[in-house]
Structure 1
Amino acid sequence: MIRSVRGKVLLLSFRVALAAMALACGASVALSQGAEIAFGTLAHDQSQPVEVTADRLTVDQTDGTAIFSGGVLVGQGEMRLSADEVLVVYDTEAEASGRIARMEAQGKVVLALGDEAAEAERAVYTIDAGTIVMTGSVLLTQGQSAISGERLVVNLDRGTGTMEGRVRTVLQPGSPR
């Protein structure tokens, strides 16, 4: 299963790179400070278990954290996230031991949900809020469309997102009738 998931992440990374090249070369460009976008064509259930694979795991019981490093791949339902390193912060106030409060990914972060993919330098997934905030040279691809900016806030419950910080996209004109 891990090989097929890694293959999907690599394919999505390739699609994101191609979209970045198209975005850089596009002649018809829209620029603004913020843009509302739809995100997550699939219903995402953040109560599903989180599966993590990595080359290394370091646990700190004193502050309730775990650091996964080296080719990290996180899966939850249909959502996939890959990064160089992921910090898992456990909810120390919850009665249920081992409950994840948030995950902080950094280094070549790629998030995939359905046919949508986003890459950034950093991402923070707050489980209970159902939000993912991606920062640092964010590029989002949705099918043939791409949009870039400095910060993407995704609300998984509503399937919406907001791109901020010098937003750029290439608009494809409709086909002639």
Structure 2
Amino acid sequence: MLKTLVLLAALSCPSLALAQAAQIDLGGMSQNTSAPVSVDADRLSVDQGTGVATFSGNVRVAQGELRLAADQVRVEYGEAQGEIRTLHADGNVTLANTDIAAEAEQAAYTIASGVIEMTGDVLLTQGSSTIAGEKLIIDAAAGTGRMEGRVQTTFQPGQSQ
């Protein structure tokens, strides 16, 4: 639900809210960050020395209900066998699950903490509501988020959020 978003918009203006930061309830985004991560792409290059794998071309990442698509995803591995530390997505980034969708130019997903940071013309859509800003920080484990920078939102009055 976007109760926080609706309250912010209702207090600011009936159709448009402008602020420097907005807290967002992303209850539908709640994610099991220990679920397996699968990656599918056109190309893969691996640097064993740095523990980095770069997937490029039509990259699709899945973890439970969470889906991420991008032009390129760089995977930083941890010390343990198969441990993924961070996913760095660049170019035409889309993040979605059954309830929300977000678009940006870049994203970084730290698996252990469940924090996803999206930057560059971020647009978040949930139902008929949208919110745009410079940076979106999502806590996928808690199902919350915060949009920062110049924040702009549009909602449909009278519709259930």
TM-score, normalised with respect to structure 2: 0.87
- Aligned runs of 1:101-120 on 2, under 5 Å? 101-120=85-104
Q: Secondary structure at the match of 1:41?
A: helix
8 Å contact 2:29–2:100 — kept in the other structure?
no
- Aligned runs of 1:84-99 on 2, under 5 Å? 84-92=71-79, 96-99=80-83
Q: Give the share of equivalent positions with the same residue, in percent.
A: 55
Q: Which residue number corresponds to residue 136 of structure 2?
A: 152
8 Å contact 1:30–1:171 — kept in the other structure?
no
Q: Which residue number corresponds to residue 151 of structure 2?
A: 167
Matched residues in 1 for 2:76 and 2:81: separation? 12
Q: How many residues align?
A: 146
**Unaligned 5+ runs, structure 2:** 1-13
8 Å contact 2:29–2:144 — kept in the other structure?
no
Amino acid at match of 1:63: T
Q: Which residue number corresponds to residue 22 of structure 1?
A: none
Map Cα deviations across residues 47-77 of structure 1 (whole Å, 9 max, x no partner).
1111110000000000000000000000000
**Unaligned 5+ runs, structure 1:** 1-26
Matched residues in 2 for 1:43 and 1:166: separation? 25
29, 34, 44: which one pairs with 2:31?
44
- The structure that is strand-richer by fraction is 2
The runs of at least 4 aligned residues of structure 1 exceeding 2 Å deviation read none
CA shift for structure 1 position 79: 0.3
Matched residues in 2 for 1:43 and 1:169: separation? 22
49, 69, 74: which one pairs with 1:62?
49
The CA RMSD over aligned residues, in Å, is 1.3
Q: Which residue number corresponds to residue 83 of structure 1?
A: 70
Matched residues in 2 for 1:28 and 1:100: separation? 42
Matched residues in 2 for 1:42 and 1:100: separation? 20
Amino acid at match of 2:43: R
